[in-house]
Homo-oligomer: A and B are copies of this chain.
Amino acid sequence: MNEEIPLETEDLPPGAVEKVAIQRVTAFEKEEAEDIIVREFPLTIIFNGQELVTLLCSPADLKYLAIGFLFSEGLLKNKDDIKQIIVDEGKGVVRVETPDIENTDNDTIFKRIITPGCGRGASFYSVADLGLESVKSNLSIKAAEVFQLMKVFQHRSLIFRTTGGVHSAALCNNREIMLFSEDIGRHNAIDKIFGQCLDKGINVNDHIVLTSGRVSSEIIIKITRRKVPILISKSAPTSSGVKLADELGITLVGFVRGSRMNVYTHNWRITT
């Protein structure tokens, strides 16, 4: 990223970054140097024998990413829907099979999975169309706890501090971060958290999700599917993100910076 950051990569997940030769340039001089950049890895998900999607991601927690993605897209409902999952990291492939493979309508799936992502969004349905229910949790958190969690969250992002090229996400309770992930995609980082929860049977209701990324409608839909009542972001929300969070009972916090934050919806869950 820049010369103030020591080029130490031992603490990072294996394969997360690469060193490259660059020139550092000012208006007056060029200097040969070394930079650490984040690795981009193509992961293809093969769902019941058919190629579903190729995600560009950071090469860690590939199994969790595949599970989380399939749940976020509504293709899996619970862990019993996974008959078999095989990760071939060398080939960049995850094969997922469901028990009812004969009944899967792959054409419908293909039409549905078009372009989630960063401003390349899944089709925008109404809340009713999506079959989403409001999140009812009575969970609340003190503002001071939010600031403390975000401070720990930002310090924990080793790959970001080394490369500046990733997003991070975390699952936490009021006091501490329980799961943490980093990925070149803000969607992937959250899917890795949820995938791990589903795989390990960790209940996410009455927990909090932290994200470094902007909060669009797609992120709120993802959060609502897992019934997480509080979403806290370092960044900005979009208009549809705020509208959906309001309708779906989610407390949406944005722009947490130091000891200030903006609470966009259902502010009763944030106490002082």
Residues from chain B with Cβ under 8 Å of A217 in the complex? 40, 56
Residues from chain B with Cβ under 8 Å of A28 in the complex? 143, 272
Answer whether residue A149 sits at the interface, using C-beta atoms and an 8 A cutoff: no
Answer whether residue A138 sits at the interface, using C-beta atoms and an 8 A cutoff: no
Main SS at interface, chain A: mixed
The segment out of A79-87, A96-104, A254-262 that lies at the interface is A254-262
Residues from chain B with Cβ under 8 Å of A29 in the complex? 272
Residues A237 and B165 in contact, CB atoms below 8 Å apart: yes
Q: Known contacts A20-B242, A22-B263, A267-B30; decide if A119 and B39 are in contact (CB<8 Å).
A: no
Residues from chain B with Cβ under 8 Å of A257 in the complex? 2
Residues A115 and B53 in contact, CB atoms below 8 Å apart: yes
Shortest Cβ distance from A56 into chain B, in angstroms?
Answer: 3
Give the oligomeric copy count: 2
Residues A35 and B165 in contact, CB atoms below 8 Å apart: no
A: interface residue count bin: 35 or more
Shortest Cβ distance from A145 into chain B, in angstroms?
Answer: 9
Which partner residue on chain B sits nearest A55 by CB separation?
B120
Residues B119 and A184 in contact, CB atoms below 8 Å apart: yes
Which partner residue on chain B sits nearest A20 by CB separation?
B242
Residues from chain B with Cβ under 8 Å of A272 in the complex? 25-30
Residues from chain B with Cβ under 8 Å of A30 in the complex? 263, 267, 270, 272
A44 to B110, CA, bound (A): 17
Partner of A118, one of B22, B113, B185: B185
Residues from chain B with Cβ under 8 Å of A24 in the complex? 260-263
The segment out of A121-129, A150-158, A173-181 that lies at the interface is A121-129
Partner of A120, one of B2, B38, B118: B118
Q: Known contacts A113-B115, A118-B186, A259-B27; decide if A239 and B54 are in contact (CB<8 Å).
A: no
Shortest Cβ distance from A36 into chain B, in angstroms?
Answer: 10
